[in-house]
Every structure is written in C-alpha cells, then in structure tokens.
Structure 1
Amino acid sequence: MHKSLLICALVIAGCARVENIGQAPKFTPVQSNTESLAMLTPGLPMRAEPESPLDQASLWDGGRQSLLGDRRAVRRGDILTVVIEIDEKAEISNSSKRSRKGSESMEIPNLLGIPQRFDPKLPEGASLGSAVDLSSSSNSGGDGSVKRREKLTLRVAATIVDVMPNGVLAIEGSQEVRVNFELRELLVSGFVRPEDISRQNEITSDKIASARISYGGRGQITDVQQPRYGQQVADIFLPF
C-alpha cells in the first residue's frame, strides 16, 4: 500500500515536468488574470462627459483626450508604467575578543610543624607545604561579516485593479519574456497614491506601498539549477 502511494506521488510529480520536455515553457494566459478583469469592468467616470461634440473638439478642454488633459492613470483599468530601480548595498562586520587569566597559590611551610611531621609519611614528592595551587585561563573570540549587494533596473506596465475608498490605487502588473527555452517572469503589485504618479504616467518602485516584486523564471536552465524534490526533503530531515 505504501509503495503504491509512493509510486503515485512520483508519477504525479513527474507529469508536471513532462510537458516541458523538448519544448519551451508556455506563457501564462492573460484572459483570466485580475488585470484583464479590471479592464473589462471599468469604474465610474470621474466627471460628466461634454455636452456637445464642439466641446470634445476644443483644444482647451480639460478632458483626458484633449491636448492639455491629464492622462495619468486614475481609474480602474487604466495602465501606468512602474519603474523598478533597486541598488542596495549592506555591509555589517562584527568582531569580539575576550581573555581572562587567574592564578591562586597558598603555601603553609610552617604551620605548628605539621608539614615537617607529616611529609616523611607521605608518598615521595608529596608535601603539605604547598597546600593549594590553582590557575585558570579562558579565551574566546568571534568574527561575523555580512555583505549583500542587489541591483535591479526594470520597467513594466501595470494596471489599476481597484480604487480604495481613500483614493489609493491598487495596481498589478506582469511581464513574461521567453528566450529560447527559458521564460523570464516579472511580477509587481502594491498600492500607490495618485499624486505620486508623474506627468509621464510613471511611478517608481520606492513610492509603492506593500510592494511585491518578483523577478524569476522557469525553463530548462532554471530546472537544472534547482535541486530535485528528494534532495530538498533530505536537506530538511538530515541533521548533517
């Protein structure tokens, strides 16, 4: 029974990898994600539409389609550009050292003549003259160093998927690039303020609250670099 369950588990785990044999990984469908849903169900208009076609043709109209209109993303389904620029460097170094040494010695060469009377009866080399002689020493040292460097520069289009009651915009964006048999995937999500969006309809990643940025991939190269499931399980349970 246990062997059958183990074989079934291995077969199921292997079937997920069979579809990538000899072909590139498939793209994620875009019709069922939250971005496309936000575009299909736009929010309410921010203002009333012009009353006549003449108003729509005016160059001085404040609408989004006019020459001087504000084209920044503000409504559900609108698209803006997220500029991801991460250049972080952290370096921490700690060093500690401690040393201690102690020595205690007590001799009683003449204590009412007791050492002289008992020394002949003691084994050769033993004497009561040196009653106590103690010494101790300890040393400890520790060094620690942490170095980290991360640099990432990317641009991705994101969609406003919801408008919060306080006016904050919830955004989500995804991008997939396939090169040969490797698929690179970029995901970004978070909350932004409309006033932080520039006139170029862009926002930097440091102005995104609760930002979640993921840059990775899947394909033959990633598959080779990852350890097998059995090795990952063994690394968890083996104590050495």
Structure 2
Amino acid sequence: MRIRNCMTIFATSLLFLGCTPSVDPHINMEPPVYVEQLPSKDSGSGQSNAGSLYGRGKDPLFSDRKAMNVNDIVTIVISETASQTSTGSKQTSKNSTTSLGAGTFTAGGSPLSNVARQLNKYGNIGFSAGGENSFNGSGTTSRNERFNATISARIIKILNNGNYFIEGNRELLINGEKQIMQVSGVIRPYDISQTNEIDSRYIADAKILYKTEGDVDRSTKKPWGTRIMEAIWPF
C-alpha cells in the first residue's frame, strides 16, 4: 500500500511538471527606468536661425544627414567579442590523533582501577581515536565568443540631455527558419559617424537579442521529459 501511494505521488508530480512550461532565456527589451523618468526634449520651431545655410528646416542645402529627430533611422554596427579565462585551485588537509592509556584508571584504589590492573595483566589496554581528511580541487574555464551583424534602429525618444534612446527589430524568414534580432539602448549624437552609423560599443545599457525559431532550433533542444528528469534526478 505504501509503495502504491509513493508511485501515485511520483506520477502526479511528473504530470504537474510536464504541464509547467519551460523557461527559456530571454531579454527584457523595455527601456531603462531613467529613460521614462527624463522628460522629452522640446522640438522647437524646426529652424532656429531663419535664412541660415546650416539651418535645420526641411531639406536645407548643407544639412547634416545624421539622425537627429524622433523616428530617424540610425545604422548600428554590432561587433561584440568576449573572451574569458579563469583558473581556481583549493587544497585543504586535517590530521588529528587522540590517545588515552588504561593507566589513567589504575591510579587509586577504586573498583575500576582494580579491574583495569587485572586486564593489563593480559594485554596493554588503551583508548585511542584519530581522524584525517584532505581535499584537493582545481578547475579551469575558457570561453571565446564573437558576434558581428548590422541592423537599423529608430530613435524612439530624445532625452532632455540630448541623448537618444533607440530601438530596432529585424525578422528574417529563410526556408522555414525565422531569425529574430532586437537591439535597444541609449546613444550620444556625437558618436554617430558622418555615414549615419554607430558602433555597438558606444551604446549605453545595450540589449542585444538574437535567436532562431524553426525545425533546427527545436531539434537542438532537449525534450521536456529529459529536462524534467535532469531537474529532479538527485544523482
């Protein structure tokens, strides 16, 4: 009866675990808190100095082609390289010995000392205890990653200090495989090149997401049953 109850509880646990959706890695694409807290910059009249060749009106003769207004497009060149190597080592040891001879009980005329003297006639009786343990562990990890891509982003908000909050999305469907790329962050207008491009290293609070969806992605993932057994298996 007890075995049957244990099997019932185990089967019920597996049922509930199987119904629980797996949690995949994700990136929160929401803007940082300070982007929402800072007020937007006033757009002004559009042309601060009437008659100037360098004005910011509609298509001025010598205008700057860099992104400068909300909904303007800026090209982001993503070139991220990560290299990490770490080594750790730890070694400990402990050795202790305790010895208590039977002669301790032979002093005096107590009944216990008489028994000890009689036993000592046939052998050397004593009490001893000791312990020894040691640990030696070491580990080394090494990882190199590189990601290169280009994506266009849109200026979502111009902050009060003149910086831009940008956000870009790109979805590509090739032979049933969907590639998704998302990027967001805060940039300075001074870091935008004359070709309206900016390197990803100049993006503050950068969030870059790249993932694929399709048959190849599903075939490279572990089945939910395997993930459950790995999560609850104690050995």
Q: TM-score, length-normalised on structure 1?
A: 0.64
- Matches for 1:197-208 after TM superposition, within 5 Å: 197-208=192-203
Matches within 5 A, 1:147-162: 147-162=142-157
Aligned to 1:185: 180
Structure-2 residue corresponding to 1:165? 160
Change (3 A) 1:235 1:71: same
Hey, what does 1:47 align to over in structure 2? Answer: 46
Contact 1:119 1:126 in 2 (8 A): no
Q: Deviations over 1:19-48 (max 9, x none)?
A: xxxxxxxxxxxxxxxxxxxxxxxx946732
% same residue: 27
C-alpha displacement of 1:113: 11
For the pair 1:126 / 2:120, whether they are aligned, the reply is no
Instruction: Give the counterpart letter for 2:73 in structure 1.
Output: I
1:102 to 89, 96, 106: 96
Classify 1:127/1:211 alpha carbon distance in 2 versus 1 (closer, same or farther; 3 Å).
Answer: same
Where does the alignment leave 5 or more consecutive residues of structure 1 unmatched?
1-5, 14-42
When the two chains are superposed, the root-mean-square deviation of aligned CA atoms in Å is 3.8
- Indicate if the aligned counterparts of 1:176 and 1:184 stay in contact, CA closer than 8 A: yes
Deviation at 1:94, TM superposition (A): 0.3
Question: Which whole-Å CA distance do the structure 2 matches of 1:234 and 1:136 have between them?
Answer: 38
Amino acid at match of 1:181: G
Which AA in structure 2 matches 1:137?
A: E
Distance 1:153 1:100, change over 3 A: same
Residues 144 and 205 of structure 1, relative CA distance in 2, 3 Å threshold = same
Any runs of at least 4 consecutive aligned residues in structure 1 with deviations exceeding 3 A, and if so which? 43-47, 60-68, 102-114, 117-121, 123-126, 131-135, 227-240
For 1:200 and 1:166, the matched residues in 2 are separated by 23
Answer yes or no: is the 8 Å Cα contact 2:169–2:181 preserved in 1: yes
Shift of residue 140, structure 1, vs aligned partner: 0.9
Alignment of 1:8-27 (within 5 A): none
| Aligned position for 2:217 | 222
Task: Calculate the TM-score normalised by the size of structure 2.
Answer: 0.65
Q: CA separation of 1:46/1:227 partners in 2, compared to 1, >3 Å: closer, same or farther?
A: farther
Helix, strand or coil: the match of 2:77? strand
Maintained 8 Å contact 1:119/1:127: no
SS for the counterpart of 1:195 is helix
Q: Alignment partner for residue 174 of structure 1, among 169, 184, 196?
A: 169
Report the counterpart of residue 33 of structure 1 in structure 2.
none
Q: Secondary structure at the match of 2:201?
A: helix
Matched with 1:27 is none
Give the structure 2 partner of residue 146 of structure 1.
141
Matches of residues 31-46 of structure 1 in structure 2 within 5 Å? 44=43
Q: Is the 8 A contact 1:81 1:201 kept in 2?
A: yes
Aligned residue for 1:122, secondary structure, equals: helix
Cα deviation for residue 92 of structure 1 reads 0.9
CA contact (8 A) 2:102 2:127 kept: no
What is the rounded CA distance, in whole Å, between the counterparts of 1:231 and 1:98 in structure 2?
37
CA–CA separation in structure 2 for the residues paired with 1:109 and 1:225: 72
